[in-house]
């Protein structure tokens, strides 16, 4: 069953069309990646799905319900969590407290929120720093905290906006393992935006490519890597013509 | 049960802090038993009152980061409810105080709903405006004495009237406000560790992220604003019985609103002890400056100069106030 269904989604900012009739769906249990050059409309798409932006037209169906036009907190309560590209976690709170804020969506009691947050911290290897302030941690750990906070809300679908940005190769590997772990162990469907190809191509079961607000390709990572439209979007027309003829047709 | 346990639990502070707190609490408890001037007593009562105002402000202004410069209107609502009920119908403090609180909280919901559609400076400016409008209304409303205000003329001073809170000696007022002061500390201590307390700190940090965690940002702010209002209104009611002569000018002026916010900011917004530290520094300073430099040396308005200086110092040196400075020196960043 499709957990998330986006139908002909359009988002305009004054004169600029950031998302142009984007349609796709994510099945329950899938791990899907979204890639595209800068300014392709990936984060805008996330903001529309999570309720942070009102959409211009189109529909978003989540878990069988139409969530178009719902506010961000209402969408979150239905089981759709997200992380943010720039922002990691609240610097004034400790790691554990940050995760607790997520957990408070499902419990009123500080004690049970704390217990739940500790479990999540353990799963994300954050135990040793759980009493440190987030602002004192390196970026890689901050990103992990933001993952934990989102997990605290017990989501069915997790949207990850560039969780690997700014990480070194070793940290990217760690993040990759963590995402797969969340996907398998928690049984959470994952939709992620990523520029780090190593991560997207390795763990995504399916990849969606956006360019200038449109969906230009969709498929398994291998076929996407050879799609002429995708190569053109990333490298430009000038370089795409150097492609070997046999590879450009795709499967 | 859990909330009560949290309110009584101060274990996240270092032991040395708790010793200081214990000594300070002991001092407050025994202070009136030692010889003191009436000026000192009045200053101490002012200190306790403004500490509670500051604690209330700190919930929405400190933990929630919503700079509210209109708290005086709720001082006025509390004070006027108690005064009107006492003067016109002889209703005692312990009944009029909760009613005043309820009226103030209802009013805070009415105002909070539109006010919290605004963010940052716009919110701050709008709170000033609403407070000033209410003050102007009271200045022309005859039922509450208009600009002349209301006078509570005591029926009798003897024996001490614990129902109406009418006393001749300040020592009674002192211990009553001290009781509220301790209750206030316990409440805020529980609040900062509650669900709403944590959610509010997430809101202060980033509203979009808070919303993505399922927090109804608008409603969380309104609820906290109501809590802050309840604190302020309670002390407003006390103020009416203590001062016995209330006017719009000395309960609802912008000056009071600013003083409340300033105290919490100076001591440390968003920390449990901050508003108390702020009041402990500012109230004696204010009394002294007014008494000596203002009245004797003719430097009227010197206290306003001081407030301005403090705002500049806090924002330039340490936005988290005196408490933040102490934490930085000690290499800690909690509280």
Question: Given CB atoms, is B6 within the 8 Å cutoff of chain A?
Answer: yes
Could you tell me the CA-to-CA distances from B54 to A131, B35, B48, B60 in Å, in that order? 29, 28, 10, 10
Residue B158 has pLDDT above 80, yes or no: no
Tens digit of each residue's pLDDT, chain A (251 residues): 789 999 999 999 988 999 999 999 999 999 999 998 888 999 999 999 999 999 999 999 999 999 999 999 999 999 999 999 876 667 678 999 999 999 999 999 999 999 999 999 999 999 999 888 888 888 889 999 999 999 999 999 999 999 888 889 999 999 999 999 999 888 899 999 998 888 999 999 999 999 989 999 899 988 888 888 888 888 776 666 666 554 444 33
Q: What ipTM score was computed for the predicted complex, to two decimals? A: 0.87
β-partners of residue B246 are B150
Q: What is the rounded distance in angstroms from the CA atom of residue B143 to the CA atom of residue B218?
A: 35
- pLDDT tens profile B95-104: 999 999 999 9
Across the interface, of B195, B211, B333, the residue whose CB is closest to A73 is B211
Return mean pLDDT, chain B.
Answer: 88
A91 CB burial (10 A radius; 0-12, 13-18, 19+): middle
Contact A105, A153 (CB under 8 A): yes
Chain B residue with CA closest to A81: the answer is B212
Distance CA A145, CA B287 (A): 48
User: Cα separation of A166 and A25, whole Å?
Assistant: 29
A165 touches chain B (CB under 8 A): no
Backbone angles phi, psi at A59, to 5 degrees: -130, 150
Task: Please indicate, yes or no, if residue B175 is contained in any of the structural domains.
Answer: yes
Overall domain count for chain B: 1
Question: Taking the mean position of all CA atoms in its chain, how far away is CA B54?
Answer: 4
Q: Are B205 and A50 within 8 A, CB to CB?
A: no
The tokens describing B331, both together, are: 């290499």
Q: Is B335 a member of any domain?
A: no
Q: Taking CA A159 as the corner, what is the angle to CA A156 and CA A163, rounded to the nearest 5 degrees?
A: 130
Distance CA A60, CA A5 (A): 6
Tell me the CATH number at B275: 1.10.3470
Residue B192's φ and ψ, nearest 5 degrees, are: -65, -20
Instruction: Report yes or no: B83 and B154 within 8 Å, Cβ to Cβ.
Output: no
Q: Is the peptide bond before A87 cis (omega within 30 degrees of 0)?
A: no
Q: Identify the three-state secondary structure at position A3.
A: strand
- Classify residue B207 by burial, with Cβ atoms within 10 Å: 0-12, 13-18, 19+: middle
Instruction: List the 24-53 stretch of A: residues with Cβ below 8 A of B.
Output: 50-52
- Residue B109: which domain range? 2-330
* Closest partner CB to B195 (pick from A51, A108, A133): A108
Hey, are the CB atoms on A73 and B194 less than 8 Å from each other?
no
Identify the pLDDT of residue B299.
67
Give the Å distances, CA to CA, from A165 to B45, B331, B332.
Answer: 55, 31, 30
**pLDDT 10s digits, B238-260:** 999 898 888 888 888 888 898 89
How far, in whole angstroms, is CA B208 from its chain's centroid? 29
Q: Is residue B68 part of a domain?
A: yes
- In the prediction, which pLDDT does B176 show? 94
Cα–Cα nearest to A101, from B287, B127, B193: B193
- A114, with CB counted inside 10 A (0-12, 13-18, 19+), is middle
**Are the C-beta atoms of A164 and A196 separated by less than 8 Å?**
yes
Give the model's pLDDT for residue B148: 78
Cβ count near B91 (within 10 Å): 17
Q: Comparing C-alpha atoms, which of B246, B204, B235, B193 is closest to residue B84?
A: B246
- B105 occurs within a structural domain: yes
d(CA B17, CA B30): 20
Task: Determine the pLDDT at residue A250.
Answer: 39
Under 8 Å CB pairs connecting chains A and B tally to: 85
| CA B61 – CA B120 distance, rounded (Å) | 11
Q: Which of B:20-79 have CB within 8 Å of A?
A: none
3-class DSSP state for residue A209? strand
Q: Give the separation between CA A201 and CA A206, rounded to whole angstroms.
A: 9
The verdict on domain A2-79+155-248 having CATH code 3.40.50.300 is: yes
Q: A57-62 and A31-35 as β-strands: parallel, antiparallel, unpaired?
A: unpaired
What per-residue confidence (pLDDT) applies to A251?
A: 37
User: What pLDDT is stored for residue B333 in this prediction?
Assistant: 56
The least confident of A6-10, B76-80, B316-320 is: B316-320
Q: What are phi and psi of A219, to 5 degrees?
A: 165, -170
A-proximal residues of B, 209-268, CB under 8 Å: 209-217
Mean pLDDT confidence for B300-320 = 81
Q: What is the mean pLDDT of residues B149-163?
A: 76
**Phi, psi (degrees; rounded to nearest 5) at B18:** -70, -30
DSSP letters spanning B125-141: HHHHHHHHHHHHHHHH-
Q: Which tokens go with B317? A: 């040196």
Q: Which residue of A has its CA nearest to B197?
A: A101
Question: Strands A31-35 and A189-193, how do they pair?
Answer: parallel
Contact yes or no for A161/A84 (Cβ under 8 A): yes
């Amino acid at each position: 069953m499709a957990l998330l269904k986006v139908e002909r989604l359009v988002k305009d900012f004054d004169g600029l069309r950031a998302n142009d009739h984007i349609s796709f769906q994510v099945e329950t249990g899938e791990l899907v990646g979204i890639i595209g050059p800068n300014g392709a409309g990936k984060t805008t798409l996330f903001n529309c799905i999570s309720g942070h932006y009102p959409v211009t037209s189109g529909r978003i169906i989540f878990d069988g319900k139409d969530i178009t036009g719902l506010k961000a907190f209402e969408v979150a309560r239905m089981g759709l969590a997200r992380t943010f590209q720039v922002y990691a976690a609240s610097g004034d709170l400790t790691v554990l407290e940050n995760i607790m804020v997520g957990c408070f969506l499902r419990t009123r009691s500080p004690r049970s929120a704390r217990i739940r947050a500790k479990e999540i911290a353990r799963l994300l290897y954050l135990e040793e720093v759980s009493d440190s302030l987030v602002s004192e941690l390196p970026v890689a750990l901050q990103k992990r905290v933001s993952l934990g906070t989102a997990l605290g809300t017990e989501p069915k679908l997790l949207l990850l906006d560039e969780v690997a940005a700014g990480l070194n190769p070793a940290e990217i590997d760690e993040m990759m393992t963590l995402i797969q772990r969340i996907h398998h162990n928690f049984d959470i469907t994952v939709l992620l935006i990523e520029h780090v190809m190593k991560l997207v191509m390795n763990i995504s079961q399916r990849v969606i490519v956006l360019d200038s607000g449109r969906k230009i390709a969709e498929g398994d990572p291998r076929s996407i890597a050879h799609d002429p439209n995708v190569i053109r979007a990333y490298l430009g027309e000038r370089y795409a013509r150097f492609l070997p003829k046999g590879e450009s047709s795709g499967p | 049960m859990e909330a009560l346990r949290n309110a009584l639990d101060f274990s996240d502070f270092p032991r040395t802090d708790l010793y200081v707190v214990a000594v300070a609490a002991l001092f407050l408890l025994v202070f009136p038993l030692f010889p003191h001037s009436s000026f000192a007593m009045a200053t101490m009562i002012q200190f306790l009152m403004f500490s509670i105002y500051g604690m209330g402000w700190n919930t929405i202004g400190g933990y929630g980061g919503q700079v509210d410069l209109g708290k005086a209107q709720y001082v006025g609502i509390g004070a006027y409810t108690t005064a009107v009920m006492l003067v016109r119908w002889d209703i005692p403090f312990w009944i009029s105080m909760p009613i005043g609180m309820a009226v103030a909280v209802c009013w805070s919901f009415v105002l909070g709903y539109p006010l919290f559609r605004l963010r940052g400076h716009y919110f701050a400016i709008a709170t000033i405006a609403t407070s000033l409008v209410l003050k102007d209304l009271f200045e022309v409303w005859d039922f509450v004495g208009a600009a002349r205000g209301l006078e509570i003329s005591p029926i009798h001073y003897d024996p001490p009237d614990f129902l109406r809170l009418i006393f001749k000696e300040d020592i009674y007022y002192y211990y009553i406000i001290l009781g509220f002061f301790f209750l206030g500390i316990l409440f805020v201590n529980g609040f900062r560790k509650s669900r709403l307390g944590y959610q509010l700190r997430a809101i202060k940090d980033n509203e979009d992220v808070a919303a993505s965690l399922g927090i109804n940002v608008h409603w969380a702010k309104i609820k906290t604003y109501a809590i802050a209002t309840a604190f302020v209104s309670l002390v407003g009611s006390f103020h009416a019985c203590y001062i016995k002569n209330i006017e719009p000018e000395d309960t609802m002026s912008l000056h009071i609103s600013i003083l409340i916010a300033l105290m919490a900011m100076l001591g440390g917004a968003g920390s449990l002890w901050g508003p108390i530290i702020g009041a402990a520094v500012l109230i004696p300073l204010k009394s002294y400056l007014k008494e000596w430099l203002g009245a004797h040396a003719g430097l009227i308005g010197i206290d306003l100069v001081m407030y301005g200086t403090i705002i500049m110092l806090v924002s330039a040196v340490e936005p988290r106030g005196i408490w933040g400075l102490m934490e930085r020196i000690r290499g800690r960043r909690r509280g």
